[in-house]
A and B are shown apart, each in its own frame.
Chain A
Amino acid sequence: MTTPAVQAAVDAAFREEWGRVLATLIRRTGDWDLAEECAQEAFTEALRRWPVDGVPQRPGAWLTTVAGNRAIDRLRRGARGAELLEQAGREALPQSDTDEDAMPELFDETDEIEDDRLRLIFTCCHPALPLDGRVALTLRSLAGLTTAEIARAFLVPEATMAKRLTRTKTKIAAAGIPYRVPPAHLLPERTAGVLAVLYLMFNEGHSASSGTELIRVGLCDEAIRLGRALQQLMPDEPEAMGTLALMLLHHSRRHARVSGDGELITLEEQDRDRWDQAEIQEGLQLLESALHRRQVGPYQLQAAIAACHARAASAADTDWPEIAGLYALLARQLPSPVVRLNRAVAVAMAGDIEAGLAIVDELSGDSRLQRYYLLEATRADLLRRRGDQPAAATAYARALPLAPSEVERRYLRRRLQEVGGSPATSPGS
């Protein structure tokens, strides 16, 4: 086999198998760092062996066996080795054979191996871990991103990200966070926590919280990939389906959201021919099968709202009354001021601008929205639609210094000029 072909096979195996190999190794050794090092070595070994021996039929099984053997070698040399080896032995870790035909029935235990990945997801997303650490460790452990890649995605120095990962892993061990799929009474709450981490990851990619680049597609792709994996691992969980549908429906608009020169384009002004129809169809189908289960949760509702936009052939065809109704349902499940703000937009777009503005006015007193630029930006948009240009200009000018990214600030400046205001006093212009 040629080297590029083998490299491609190893790359593919890495994308597919890294999380599985690592997840199984962590269960058997209980040592995250050891598991990570040995998994890494197994992939290096594949690069060396596969050109000579050929790519094995079940690359994942081969990699897990090699990584497992490395772990045994290291444990033999280590101080706590005997104790851990005894545990590993009870789990029937294969001894020294990388010939997959000679391997014990271990790898027929597909369920157990799949459960390992779920264990890994739930452990990485444990609510006692720092939130930024949950996201980073999920990307490192399940998606197989390197520390440098994660650091780039979050615009922090690599050393900072390395520290964040180490600290998160240290807490898992030191605080006694169990490596398991949570028991039934904890499962709904913890599943919501996992979905929140995936959606946070997606949003971080979809709308960069700082800096000039609005869409960091890498993070969106990883979040969707993990969302697919989770949906397969938890096929009966409608909210997992809803989250994946929601991410796909948002992702389908990525080429239409930002213009060639980096300007933010609102949903209303987007060229809908540029929406990814394959992703929309997949998202709509997922949403439909989720809703069939009749356990509606916040992610399904948000996906249903995104679906209303996806189905509309033009902005004018949008079913705003339906969206306003969905936001009302969502506000009941998720009593957040941001949800109510979105409902205000839907109510206004459904024809009642005054009612929309009244909701915005109510929200002005909410301390949680004091530094939230979309409150003023929404008020400005509604006032502009009502034809009240001077009041709209005042609101746009107030939103401008609060907007977190340059792309959003440019959008606000453009609107401000349209309604006859001047952005001269705002910072960053």
Chain B
Amino acid sequence: MNYLLFIWADGMPAPEELAVMQRELPGWHEEFKRRGVQLFGRELDLPETAATVRVRDGETLLTDGPFAETKEFVAGFNLLECADLDEAIEVAAKCPISQFQPLEIRPFSDGLRLSEQVSAFAHEDDSAGTPYLLTLWIGGTPAAPIDDQAAIDAGQVWRQDLVERGLHVLGSALGGRDAATTVRVRDGQTLLSDGPFTKIEAFIAGIEVVSCADRQQAIQLAATHPIARDHAIEVRPFYRE
């Protein structure tokens, strides 16, 4: 099964946290890449670089900043290919970040769609186009149901179109909030909690990574996604050295 591992943060890591991560992250990547469990991961740029796109009555509404008005934000993600949830929990619990920040495990409900561009993206080679993460937030609007399967299904057509245009890197719908598990490690103990990390009404129903000429194009693509019509899409670039 494919899982997405969201790494949550509430600010910049403290120097001692950074030291632990720098020391232990390479070994963690190495172990799970060798086992074929960890596909790859990328870090996102800071939340203030995000824009949130909504389409209402045919008009694109753009707001600066991330969708969720919480202190916590997604700092990056990893893609996993695991036998089951226990293996995904093992990956999360062994990740040094889980000592400081919560990690959220979400299964891809319809499998994970990877395009040809994914290899370059995984190697942080962004020469062919700048990758942007589109985060599909459902809920928080009274107009549409919280379980908007129709909009999620329509997203497949949108994705196919982008694949044909060579703009799609990866993405898929995620299992609903009932399928989420949050992992923390405290004093060497793995602590699990049921559900997504954020307790806000809206939840992340899927992710898409698109490869664009610029931010403007990423926003335009987000505006054509069916989720943008009743819900919201957060557009954010990835971190670059």
Contacts and interface: CB of A to CB of B under 8 A. Distances in A.
Contacts of B175: 174-175
A44 to B, nearest CB: 31
Contact of B83 (A129, A174, A178, A182): A178
B107 A178 contact: no
B1 interface: yes
Interface string B65-99: 00000000000000000111110110000000000
Interface residues of B, number: 22
Interface of A: 126-131, 133, 167, 170-171, 174-178, 182, 186, 189
A176 B194 contact: no
B178 A177 contact: no
Contact of A174 (B82, B84, B86, B178): B178
Contact of A177 (B84, B109, B176): B84
B178 A170 contact: yes
Contacts of B109: 174
A81 B73 CA distance: 43
Nearest to A179: B84
15 contacts: A127-B192, A128-B181, A128-B192, A130-B195, A133-B194, A167-B178, A170-B178, A171-B179, A171-B194, A174-B109, A175-B180, A176-B3, A176-B107, A177-B85, A189-B190
Contacts of B192: 127-128
Given A127-B192, A128-B181, 13 more contacts: A129-B194, A130-B195, A170-B178, A170-B179, A171-B179, A174-B107, A175-B175, A175-B179, A176-B82, A176-B84, A176-B107, A177-B85, A177-B86
A171 B196 CA distance: 12
B146 to A, nearest CB: 14
Nearest to A130: B194
Interface in B175-189: 175-176, 178-181
A83 B57 CA distance: 45
A11 to B, nearest CB: 35
B89 A174 contact: no
B82 A171 contact: no
Nearest to A183: B86
B193 to A, nearest CB: 8
A108 B24 CA distance: 50
Nearest to A129: B194
A176 B1 CA distance: 8
B111 to A, nearest CB: 12
Interface of B: 1, 3, 82-86, 88-89, 105, 107, 109, 175-176, 178-181, 190, 192, 194-195
B176 A178 contact: no
Contacts of A186: 86
Nearest to B90: A186
Given A128-B89, A128-B194, A178 B84 contact: yes
Contacts of A189: 190
B93 to A, nearest CB: 11
A130 B192 CA distance: 10
Nearest to B1: A176
Contact of A175 (B83, B181, B190): B181
Contacts of B176: 174
Given A174-B109, A176-B1, A128 B85 contact: yes
B178 A171 contact: yes
A186 B3 CA distance: 20
A409 B123 CA distance: 64
A193 to B, nearest CB: 9
A172 to B, nearest CB: 9
Contacts of B179: 170-171, 174-175
B82 to A, nearest CB: 7
Contacts of A177: 84-86
A182 B181 CA distance: 18
A176 B4 CA distance: 13
A178 B89 CA distance: 12
B194 A178 contact: no
Contacts of A130: 194-195
Residue of B84, B175, B179, B192 ringed by the most chain A CB atoms within 10 A: B179
B107 A175 contact: yes
A130 B84 CA distance: 18
A178 to B, nearest CB: 4
Contacts of B180: 175
A56 B55 CA distance: 66
A131 B85 CA distance: 17
A194 to B, nearest CB: 14
Contact of B85 (A133, A167, A170, A176): A176
A178 B178 contact: no
A293 B25 CA distance: 40
A243 B192 CA distance: 23
B80 to A, nearest CB: 11
A178 B84 CA distance: 6
Nearest to B190: A189
Nearest to B180: A175
A6 B77 CA distance: 59
A128 B180 CA distance: 9
Given A127-B192, A130-B194, A178 B86 contact: yes
A129 B178 CA distance: 9
